[in-house]
Amino acid sequence: MDLQLTGKTALVLAASKGLGKACALALAAEGADVIIGAREQTNLDAAAKHIAALGKGRVRAIRVDVTDAASVAAMIDTAAAEFGKIDILVNNAGGPPFGKFESFDDAAWQSAFELTLLSTVRFSRLVVPHMRPTGSGRIINITSLSTKTYLPGSVLSTSLRLGVVGMAKMLANELGPDNITVNNVAPGSILTDRLRHSMTSTAPGAPSFEEQLAEHAKGIPLGRIGKPEELAALVAFLASPLAGYITGATIPVDGGAIKATV
């Protein structure tokens, strides 16, 4: 299936590794020009090299801290100046820490707000004016299965990602007349560094990494942890003209882990 992404320009955040990098790779493989952002230069350059090796569209790496307003604005200005337009925005960031409700003070909540919700607000607000003149646009937010089911210890993530889901629904309605779609993709357990660090224990006597993953996978109907490219395939489809009638949706990529029926 040709996703008709050749000539499209995609801005993909938190894309030096993990889910963001997989999304950038999938979009580039379909012919899009991609601009990737993250904070640390070495990983970012390595990701750009990997994507460029596909030999498809242009690739540009721009250092950005998605929690820093000036850094966000500078990235968008550079992208728009160099590529002339932005067709696709993939909002993504590192996740906030896990822990119990009473372990988080105001500073922790403020940081999580800036990382998870405000970054999505800022990028969306600044990118829309670059999408509107093209007559279409795609905003895709990477969220979490915790927006649809209980995930222990995820109070920061869940509370703020539900804000992202609410914002996406509002934007889907407001931007519909501009042919700009806004959707959320909700990963379950996908094998990235984030999952390695948050889900497995390295305490003395703990089972091996593989044993811990296998134990976790028992609760997933498909019986395994997901691969980043399995999430990225959905993102590439949602970014394409073929997904033009899907907006305001939150779509899980979770191997069936969410048990709710609606």
Q: How far is the CB of 63 from ligand NAP (least distance, A)?
A: 8
195 interacts with ligand NAP by CB under 6 A = yes
Give the span between the Cα atoms of 81 and 230, in whole angstroms: 32
Per-residue DSSP letter, 234: H
Residue 210 one-letter amino acid: E
Binding flag, residue 240, ligand NAP (CB under 6 A): no
Interface region with ligand NAP, contact rule CB under 6 A, candidates 73-81, 92-100, 101-109, 209-217:
92-100
How far is the C-alpha of 194 from the C-alpha of 115, rounded, in Å? 15
Q: Which residues pair with 190 in a beta bridge?
A: 226
Shortest CB 173 distance to ligand NAP, Å: 25
Cβ atoms 28, 41 nearer than 8 A: no
Read off the tokens for 115: 């990382």
174 versus 193: smaller Cβ distance to ligand NAP: 193
CB 139 → ligand NAP: shortest distance, Å?
16
Which residue from 67, 191, 39, 91 is spatially nearest to 47, judged by alpha carbons? 39
Q: In the complex, what is the shortest distance from the CB of residue 245 to ligand NAP, in angstroms, rounded to a whole number?
A: 26
Per CB under 6 A, does 14 bind ligand NAP? yes
Query: At residue 204, what are phi and psi to the nearest 5 degrees?
Result: -55, 135
Q: Does 95 bind ligand NAP (CB under 6 A)?
A: yes
Angle ∠(168,171,175) on CA atoms, nearest 5:
140
Count of CB atoms situated within 10 Å of the CB of 19: 26
189 interacts with ligand NAP by CB under 6 A:
yes
**Number of residues in contact with ligand NAP under rule CB under 6 A:** 28
Provide the b/e sequence for 46-77 (b: ≥16 CB within 10 Å). Answer: ebbeebbeeebbebbbbebbbbeeebbeebbe
Stretch that binds ligand NAP, among 81-89, 91-99, 128-136, 242-250 (CB under 6 A): 91-99
Residue 64 as a binder of ligand NAP (CB under 6 A): the answer is yes
Q: Which is nearer to ligand NAP, 5 or 253 (CB)?
A: 253
Report if residue 187 touches ligand NAP, rule: CB under 6 A.
yes
Contact 18, 231 (CB under 8 A): no
What is the contact mask toward ligand NAP in residues 117 to 156, using x (rule: CB under 6 A)?
Answer: -------------------------x-x------------
Contact set with ligand NAP (CB under 6 A): 14, 16-20, 38-40, 43, 64-67, 92-95, 115, 142, 144, 187, 189-190, 192-195
